[in-house]
Amino acid sequence: MYKYVFRRVLMLIPVIIGVTFIVFFILNLSPGDPAAIILGDQATAEALEMKREELGLNDPIFVRYGNYMVNLVHGDLGTSYRNNLDVWDQVIQRFPNTFILAVISTLIALLIGIPTGITSALKQYSMMDNISMIIALIGVSMPVFWLGLMLVIFFSLNLKILPSQGMGVGFIPLIKSLILPSFSLGAMSAAVIARMTRSSMLDVTRQDYISTARAKGLSEKIITNHHMLKNAMIPIITAVGLQFGTLLGGSMLTETVFSWPGVGRLMIDSIKSKDIPLVLGSVIFLAIMFTVVNLIVDIVYAFVDPRIKSQYKRK
Amino acid sequence: MEKVKNANKVSEQRSLWEDTWRRFKKNKMAMIGLYFMIILVIIAFATIVIDIATGQSFYNQHIIKQDLRRRLEGPSPGHIFGLDEFGRDVLMRMLWGTRYSLFMGTIAIVLSCIVGGVLGAVSGFYGKVTDNVIMRLMDILLAIPSMLLAIAIVASLGTSLINVLIAIAVSLIPRFARTVRASVLTVKDQEFIEAARAIGCSDFRIILKYIIPNSLSPLIVQFTLGIASAILSIAGLSFLGLGIQPPTPEWGAMLSNARTYIRDAWHVTAIPGLGIMFTILALNLVGDGLRDALDPRLKN
């Protein structure tokens, strides 16, 4: 089992190298000259050349990438062009905000998605099933940022019970300011998870061992809880993990709607101010987080699925 | 003899698609989605025809021209969706915006379908090192959230229609590569491929004539669902100000501009979002319907 975990962790290294290289390469395609951005329009050609040399922009891209990665391992993502602040510090300072939003959203998605999916599957084609699947389909089709804005109109502007933007300080204001963003971020995941749970449960229902369990005379409750749910859980866990990763790496829309001080919004703001080290730092950080979450999901998966476990025990 | 063979082949082929269509038609929700999409396509073409016929003057008069005295006016019989922050008719702008979501989504998906499809087919067909190299590259692309990748591309290349297309297309390539590769792998070792090779077909011909038609059905489903996610991504990019720029009436951009006035006029924000939502919903319904109709396990 540890062999499996070790192998998966090792496989992470080439993926992270690949991901960071692609992001680094894409952001270096940018036609703008960073030296000109820092020094402004008035700079002389000589000053520009010196700045380029100082930033290492005259080196080939592989050399620059190598230097960047060596610094990254040391927790150094360079300094921001605009305000000369350390990029790593800025990203790390914002990350807990993105993380807490993703965790709460995933919890909401789980609490809504899984029970809905299960009841839908157990009562297939019932009124309840049809209604919840239509709602789930609408949920999958809704732009996240639009749902966020609609929630703001209803709860903040009309009812005036929840704050429309920013992050509250202190426990109660924090919870209050989390409700709208996490719900709008979690709604789509809830819909995805509900659909996934339903189809996974329905797949399991058709298996022979369920018929066997029925033939043995087990009660429906035991069949549902012990035979169906346990088997249906495996693909659901994957779906939940993927959703968590997506929420972590894709929260910039919600963060923009609610002015949430997370990494996503930091990235969007730095794109607008053409602050390339900050863009690069936040994109690479989010991409690495996404990859790590996927790895954790894979490992959890192996612990839950006895088939993978036994494969590695025999060896 | 030759003719008889051909006739047989044609009738079989037609019956496969007829079969699919028959099953698809039974699915009421999917049909509603299909009708909705047909209406949208007609609207998109009709507005383009009007633009060409009037030489943009209608466009400038009704879509772009501002009337600040009547800004943010609510829905009324004359303007059923109200007026936006510059006093332009929201309904008109919605109609004229159809083409961006629809055609840009489709073009992006066609691009990524071609590139991803070729990569997947080559990968599955040749296996070994080729497969390994291509699929590891796809794994890496998949390891970056697609919205993040698209944002990085647009951030670097700048915001233009073409760059947004490239960004969305690149971020969706791995999906198609994986889908095509999986179906190539199931088809590859079957007898008719061996037969084709035995009569001396080139690899290119085998892929084009025998492998691609046989891996078409999962590709069609991915294609429909892919357009939906491309439209969502385009709207998202425009919402962030990184996609299509104002005053172009793209739905995501309309929403983004109207956001500032959310306190005074909810309709300007709500309506473009509803447009996006119904379009995605229709595409999802068609995609789900196609998946069921093309699934051989659900026949009869």
| A19-45 pLDDT per residue, tens | 888 888 888 877 767 777 777 777 777
Which residues in chain B have Cβ-Cβ distances shorter than 8 Å to A143?
A: 232, 235-236, 239, 252, 255, 273, 276-277, 280
How far is residue B180's CA from residue B120's CA, in Å, rounded to a whole number?
Answer: 5
Query: Which residue in B138, B141, B240 has the most chain A C-beta atoms within 10 A of its own C-beta, making it the best mutation to test that interface?
Result: B240
Q: Which residue of B has its CA nearest to A275?
A: B155
Q: What share of chain A is helix, strand, coil (3-state, %, to 5)?
A: 80, 0, 20
ipTM: 0.84
Which residues in chain A have Cβ-Cβ distances shorter than 8 Å to B281?
A: 137-138, 141
Query: Which residue in A23, A37, A91, A146 has the most chain B C-beta atoms within 10 A of its own C-beta, making it the best mutation to test that interface?
Result: A146
| A51-97 pLDDT per residue, tens | 777 777 777 888 888 888 888 888 888 888 777 788 888 899 999 99
How far is residue A32's CA from residue B180's CA, in Å, rounded to a whole number?
Answer: 38
Q: Which residue of A has its CA nearest to B238?
A: A253
> For A207-273, what is the HEC assignment?
CHHHHHHHHCCCCHHHHHHHHHHHHHHHHHHHHHHHHHHHHHHCCHHHHHHCCCCCHHHHHHHHHHC
- pLDDT category of residue A315 using cuts at 50, 70 and 90: very low
Nearest of B284, B267, B274 to residue B82 by alpha carbon? B267
pLDDT value at position B13?
53
CA dihedral A15, A18, A23, A26 (to 10 degrees): -150
Judged by CB atoms closer than 8 Å, whether chains meet at B239 and A143 is answered as yes
Per-position pLDDT tens, chain B of length 300? 455 555 555 555 556 778 888 888 888 889 999 999 999 999 999 999 998 888 878 888 777 787 778 777 778 887 888 888 888 888 888 899 898 889 999 999 999 999 998 898 888 888 888 888 898 888 888 888 888 888 888 888 888 888 889 989 998 899 899 888 888 888 888 888 888 888 888 888 888 888 877 778 888 888 998 999 899 999 999 998 888 888 888 888 888 888 888 888 888 888 999 999 999 999 999 998 888 888 766 554
Give percent of chain A above pLDDT 90.
17
Judged by DSSP in three states, A6 sits in helix
Judged by CB atoms closer than 8 Å, whether chains meet at A287 and B143 is answered as yes
Judged by CB atoms closer than 8 Å, whether chains meet at B155 and A30 is answered as yes
Q: Which residues contact B295 (CB under 8 A, 6 or more apart)?
A: B217
Give percent of chain A above pLDDT 70.
97
Q: Which residue of A has its CA nearest to B288?
A: A137
Average pLDDT value for chain A: 85
pLDDT value at position A214?
86
How far does the CA of residue B283 sit from the closest CA of chain A (Å)?
A: 9
How far is residue B139's CA from residue B187's CA, in Å, rounded to a whole number?
Answer: 23
Question: Nearest by CB to B263, which of A23, A157, A283?
Answer: A157
Question: Nearest by CB to B155, which of A27, A145, A249?
Answer: A27
Which residues in chain B have Cβ-Cβ distances shorter than 8 Å to A267?
A: 151
Which range has the top average pLDDT, A105-114, A156-165, A277-286?
Answer: A105-114
How far is residue A106's CA from residue A110's CA, in Å, rounded to a whole number?
Answer: 6
Judged by CB atoms closer than 8 Å, whether chains meet at A146 and B269 is answered as yes
Stretch A4-24: mean pLDDT, rounded? 86
Judged by CB atoms closer than 8 Å, whether chains meet at A30 and B144 is answered as no
- At A35, give phi and psi (nearest 5°): -60, -40
Size of interface A-B (CB pairs under 8 A): 129
Judged by CB atoms closer than 8 Å, whether chains meet at B255 and A150 is answered as no
pLDDT value at position B14?
58
Bridge partner list, A86? A79
Which residues in chain A have Cβ-Cβ distances shorter than 8 Å to B239?
A: 143, 145, 253, 256
Q: DSSP letter at A159?
A: S
Which residues in chain B have Cβ-Cβ distances shorter than 8 Å to A294?
A: 143
The pTM of the full predicted model, rounded to 2 decimals, is 0.85
Q: DSSP letter at B70?
A: G
Judged by CB atoms closer than 8 Å, whether chains meet at B155 and A29 is answered as no
How far is residue A308's CA from residue A175's CA, in Å, rounded to a whole number?
Answer: 40
Question: Nearest by CB to A149, which of B155, B262, B280?
Answer: B262
Question: Nearest by CB to B139, which of A15, A143, A152?
Answer: A15
The answer to whether A190 and A139 have CB atoms below 8 angstroms apart is yes
Token pair 């690479």: residue: A284
Judged by CB atoms closer than 8 Å, whether chains meet at A18 and B136 is answered as yes
